[in-house]
Amino acid sequence: MSRTLELTRQLISRPSVTPDDKGCQDLLIRQLEPLGFKPEKMRFGEGVDAVDNLWLRKGNKAPLFCFAGHTDVVPTGPVENWDSDPFEATERNGKLYGRGTADMKGSIAAFTVACERFVQDYPDHKGSIAYLITSDEEGPAVNGTVKVVETLEARAEKIDWCLVGEPSSTHKVGDVIKNGRRGSLGCELSIIGKQGHVAYPHLARNPIHLAAPFLAELTATEWDQGNDFFPPTTFQISNINAGTGATNVIPGELKLVCNFRFSTEVTPQELKNKVIELLEKHQLDYQINWNLSGMPFLTAAGELVSAAVSAIKTITGQDSELSTSGGTSDGRFIAPTGAQVLELGPTNATIHQVNECVGIDELDTLEKIYYQILVELLA
């Protein structure tokens, strides 16, 4: 059993469903403290909202290379639908099954083994190495990485290069590197009408009927055309609800939950203004609440991109595709500090699914790539 596989199995055995860390971070401290990493536990929030975070750093010189990741996982769903215990790592047909194998305990294990090897091989390496680990990436993400970054910024502790271990790969490890992410703007929208009897529509105002022309125009709007790095901004309605459940009652309110995934071609304020403009155009009575959960970020070029592309070519022989597709990640909190940020991890075909798994050989390949990146930047 490889060292990376062994450590992944140990992490999987801890049922760290958001926001519970279940001792994963203590395990990392035990692995890395003997190598000269100084641990700093950061706990933010209170009660059920409390989140455990960990900042581990070796060295105090620039440049600072940081591995970032999360020990929390999403719920398993019905355990009876799994072919094996989701918190007991199980090997079948060359794959390791368990919740978090791909997202992202396998990456954390590969980080750690790569770091152990690098420090042993290059005890006098340049700069510093750090870990930023949270147990609140899969949840609200309000007491996790964002708070750690605020703490680091307040004491002028700057990350130069950050590698996030999110599962970025599509078919083979390293075929895709995420060098940015779109922004995410959500809204909760209520269209106000007047409840009444369906037989007397002139005495009521049906918010569904009133909103229909507005929604048709809203969903047909082209927000931008994207650019060389980002696809066009998209808009989706993810929830819509109205009515009392009775067939003879006109509802008094229509509630919608919507989301924009936006490029760098448009600002959140521009998106908000356009939605308000359409609401006013259709003379709707409305209430709206916005939630900006992340701005777009991009690492178009630089030492980190070059090192990652080179390392993947060295270890696997393949060329990598740079991409900004997919959802958000904690990289959105780190990039605004000026750090170069990339996401590089295992294949993502089974993340958040029943029977989540990762190829066992992927873990060792990933460890070798991480090691080579450290060599390229700090040896």
Q: What is the DSSP letter of 167?
A: -
Question: Residues near 14 by Cβ (< 8 Å), separated by ≥ 6?
Answer: 21, 22, 23, 24, 27, 71, 87
CA angle (376, 119, 9) in 5-degree steps? 100
What DSSP string runs through 172-207? STTSEEE-EE-EEEEEEEEEE-B-EETT-GGGSB-H
Which value, in Å, is the radius of gyration of the alpha carbons in the chain? 23
Chain length of the chain: 379
Q: Which of 72, 166, 343, 356 is catalytic?
A: 72
The neighbour count for residue 229, using CB atoms within 10 Å, is: 16
Q: Are 347 and 170 in contact (CB under 8 A)?
A: yes
Handedness of CA 355, 359, 364, 368 (dihedral sign): negative
Decide if 270 is catalytic: no
Q: What is the DSSP letter of 37?
A: P
Decide if 137 is catalytic: yes
Question: Residues near 140 by Cβ (< 8 Å), separated by ≥ 6?
Answer: 49
Taking alpha carbons only, the member of 129, 131, 127 closest to residue 28 is 131
Distance of alpha carbon 120 from alpha carbon 97, whole angstroms: 31
Q: Which of 52, 137, 166, 356 is catalytic?
A: 137
Question: Residues near 110 by Cβ (< 8 Å), separated by ≥ 6?
Answer: 4, 165, 363, 366, 367, 370
Question: Residues near 360 by Cβ (< 8 Å), separated by ≥ 6?
Answer: 5, 91, 94, 95, 96
Give the active site residues. Answer: 72, 137
